[in-house]
Amino acid sequence: MTALGPVRVRLASVVQGDAEGHQSINLPKAAEAVAQLRRVAQVTGAEDVIHISSDYHRAAIAAGPLTTQWSIVVEAYGTAVTRAVPPEPKPPQQSADA
């Protein structure tokens, strides 16, 4: 396999929760980020992605007496790879004596 280079995707969402802790169900997931990472790599000509890792970040961005808003970010990283193409064999050179 030949490495084509790093690939990265970032999925972000703002979630609003209520006083009882219920939140939106449209949160980005690590599995979705990895699937998107593979799609991005395929668009660039890669066959696969290796050394995949993901990060999940959650931060409160606003708070009130009844609700809290959260910023959710899921990032996935990896190395895009493709199959190595073997070099074509050179034709044998003919000698000048022939």
Q: In this structure, what are the phi and psi dihedrals at residue 9, rounded to the nearest 5 degrees? A: -130, 155
Name the more confident of 3 and 26.
Answer: 3
How high is the pLDDT of residue 86?
75
The CATH code that applies to domain 2-82 is 3.30.110
How high is the pLDDT of residue 22?
65
Cα–Cα dist 51/57, whole Å: 20
Domain ranges of the chain: 2-82
Q: Which pLDDT tens digit goes with each residue over 22-79? A: 666 678 899 999 999 999 999 999 999 999 999 999 888 877 777 778 888 999 999 9
Burial of 78 (0-12, 13-18, 19+ CB in 10 A): buried
- The strand pairing partners of 8, in sequence order, are 77
Q: Which pLDDT tens digit goes with each residue over 11-32? A: 998 887 666 666 666 788 999 9
Cα–Cα dist 59/53, whole Å: 20
DSSP state of 23: -
